[in-house]
Amino acid sequence: MKKLIGILLSAMFALTPTTVLAAQSDLRFNGDYEFKAEGEYNSSAFFAGNEVEDGAVVHGIDFAFGDKVENKGSYEYGFHAGNKLVTSGNYEKDLFAFGNEIVVAKEAKIARDFYAAGSKIEINSNIPGSVFATASKIVLNNVTVGGDLRVAAAEVEIIGDVKIGGTFVYNEDLNVVGKDTMVAGEIETYRPILLSFRWNNNLKIIFAVLCLASSIVIAVVFILIARRFFNGLKEKAEAADTKYVLVNLGVGLLGVIIIPLIVALLTVTVVGIPAALLLLFAFIIAIVLSATVFAAFIGGKIMPKQSTILSSTIVLILMAVVGYIPVVGWMINSVCTLIGFGIILTSIFDKKVAQKTKVEEPKEEE
């Protein structure tokens, strides 16, 4: 779970053009090209920008993302992502790092485990726990790993005295440079599973048909479950104009930007993580169903006398065909999905407003 959260947040914040700092309920924005994070925080904190110098004391999870990230503070957990990461910080528990070049300096102190994925990973500090790393090249420089060392790499370079207290586990095609100077409790190798097949025209056709069939099945099930929603959508479609479509396109676009940000902010505290996972699950389900909603809307507009299932199926087939148009096909389908997502969000909002109005409506006196 910790690795999943780290990867998701890395993807969302690593390319953020501005700098974001969040601690407890405090959210501040800093647009400086170079950002220096300082101070003490009694909760998790987010730092993101182009060049980040993170010297904060964080009694929680430290999220640091940017093109160049340097960590020299004190943290409970570290989740760092960027092009070049250099850490000499103090981690009370684990460190998770994702980037092109990752360097753990000699001054760094990691109390437990180290998880890393990148192009080149260099470890210059002792790790009391275990190391889990995948990279093109991994360098171990005069270090002791108290637990296991598990790697998936093309090359591991051993410099000086390297000791592995547990088991050194690596892919059998790994090139280990300087293996003679390394001492390990046990050594195990594994064979990578390589899956390869020829992606010919027949497979493309089969894959396309299966995808279309699955989308139609999902649409039929959804329509049967939510008949009232789709009946109301059909009525709206008959009276809808260009403004209605554009408004829902804007709402959908705003939703795909704001909802992932809310999910990320909810993970700042342990209490908010369950809510974040539920919101993320609902968000994914809504995106999956957005194509069905759009198909039902367009079907109700251009084929009002046909059943919702039939009209939606026809539109879904047309969308599948449009999707294979070079360059613009995926763009058109993305816009359609955003419109469908916007309709879902506005329908939820309209329902909330209607319920509130009904509750606040005064009863007539007899």
pLDDT digits (tens, 9 = 90+) for 285-327: 899 899 999 999 999 888 888 888 888 889 998 888 888 787 7
Is it the case that residue 349 has pLDDT exceeding 80?
no
The rounded mean pLDDT for the chain is: 81
Per-domain residue ranges of the chain: 2-190, 201-356
Average pLDDT over residues 62-68: 81
Token reading at 261: 């940000």
Closest CA to 184 of 202, 152, 158: 158
List pLDDT tens digits, range 243-273.
888 989 999 999 898 888 888 887 766 667 7
pLDDT range class, residue 95, cuts 50, 70, 90: very high
Alpha carbons 141 and 78: distance in angstroms, whole number? 22
Kindly indicate the confidence band of residue 18, based on its pLDDT and cuts at 50, 70 and 90. Answer: very low
> What 3-state DSSP class applies to 27?
strand
**pLDDT at residue 155 greater than cutoff 60:** yes
pLDDT for 357 equals: 52
pTM of the model: 0.52
Each residue of 306-338: b (16+ CB within 10 Å) or e?
Answer: eebbebbbbbbeebbeebeeeeeeeeebeebbb
CA angle, 93 then 94 then 96, to 5°:
155
What would the mean pLDDT of 17-30 be, rounded to a whole number?
Answer: 34
Cα angle, residue 346 at apex, residues 341 and 348 outer, rounded to 5°: 100
DSSP 8-class letter at 127: B
pLDDT value at residue 202: 63
Within a 10 A sphere around the Cβ of 145, how many other Cβ atoms? 23
